[in-house]
């Protein structure tokens, strides 16, 4: 499933409004235009890439271990984990493509990453889904806060603005899996804040 189809299927009706307001604030909060301070932004993007790689490894490990050992794991959960892992791989590829265009920023490889430590000890698929929700929230929070007050270049702000709604879409899907209803409400965004 491509990005556009995923976002449409997720029915994230609030995202266009949120993304629009973020794009406006991102253009005005940060006064630096162009790539004058791209190094600092690329360092932040390296952190994002490392988190994406860790998330991919966590999904991979969960699929290969917990989901395989827990007979109650629905096929839909396995497929969703694989889909989300593929989305994160797309994000990582996007970041690495930009790193390749700048000297001094090495590629971030999935093979160099380790699964999240919090996966240790998880034995049931619902525990893994809860962890995945937590990680997706942390990712969305990271992109939101960095877009809002730390990034200075339009290039990296736009990359983060492109990735952010996918992370929120993952959150909504995982909330549904956990039976948390309504899946989308004001509380979903309550803990997003600037400068985290």
Q: Which residue has the tokens 């960095």?
A: 146
Q: How many residues does the chain have?
A: 196
**Higher-scoring residue by pLDDT: 193, 85:** 85
- The domain defined by 36-189 carries CATH number 1.10.10.10: no
Q: Which two tokens mark 34?
A: 């162009």
pLDDT digits (tens, 9 = 90+) for 97-112: 999 998 778 999 999 9
What percent of the chain has a predicted confidence (pLDDT) above 70? 73
Residue by residue, DSSP assigns 128-140 as: HHHHHHHHHHHHH
pLDDT digits (tens, 9 = 90+) for 13-28: 444 434 443 443 334 3
- CA distance linking residue 142 with residue 148, whole number of Å: 10
**Mean pLDDT score across all residues of the chain:** 82
pLDDT at residue 5 in the model: 54
27: part of which helix (H) or strand (E)?
helix 15-29
At 105 the three-state DSSP class reads coil
72-86 mean pLDDT: 97
Residue 162 has a CB neighbour count (10 Å cut-off) of 14
Chain centre distance of CA 105: 21
Q: Which two tokens mark 1?
A: 């499933």
**Domain ranges across the chain:** 36-189
- CA distance linking residue 35 with residue 153, whole number of Å: 5
31-43 mean pLDDT: 71
Residue 1 has pLDDT above 80, yes or no: no
Q: In terms of DSSP H, where are the helices of 66-124?
A: 66-69, 75-100
Instruction: Yes or no: say if 58 and 135 are a contact pair by the CB < 8 Å rule.
Output: yes
What percent of the chain has a predicted confidence (pLDDT) above 90? 67
- CA distance linking residue 175 with residue 60, whole number of Å: 20
């Amino acid at each position: 499933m491509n990005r556009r189809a995923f976002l449409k299927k997720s029915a994230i009706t609030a995202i266009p409004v949120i993304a629009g307001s973020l794009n406006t604030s991102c253009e005005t909060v940060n006064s630096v235009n162009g790539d004058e301070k791209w190094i600092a932004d690329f360092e932040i993007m390296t952190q994002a890439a490392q988190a994406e790689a860790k998330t991919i490894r966590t999904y991979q490990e969960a699929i290969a271990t917990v989901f395989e050992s827990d007979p109650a794991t629905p096929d839909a959960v396995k497929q969703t984990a694989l889909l989300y892992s593929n989305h994160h791989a797309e994000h990582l590829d996007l970041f690495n493509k930009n790193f390749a265009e700048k000297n001094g920023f090495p590629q971030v490889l999935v093979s160099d990453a380790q699964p999240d430590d919090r996966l240790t000890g998880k034995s049931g698929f619902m525990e893994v889904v809860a962890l995945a929700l937590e990680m997706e929230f942390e990712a969305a929070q990271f992109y939101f806060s960095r877009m809002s007050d730390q990034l200075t270049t339009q290039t990296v702000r736009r990359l983060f603005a492109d990735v952010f709604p996918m992370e929120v879409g993952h959150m909504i899907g995982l909330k549904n899996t956990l039976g948390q209803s309504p899946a989308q409400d004001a509380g979903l965004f309550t803990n997003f804040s600037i400068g985290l």
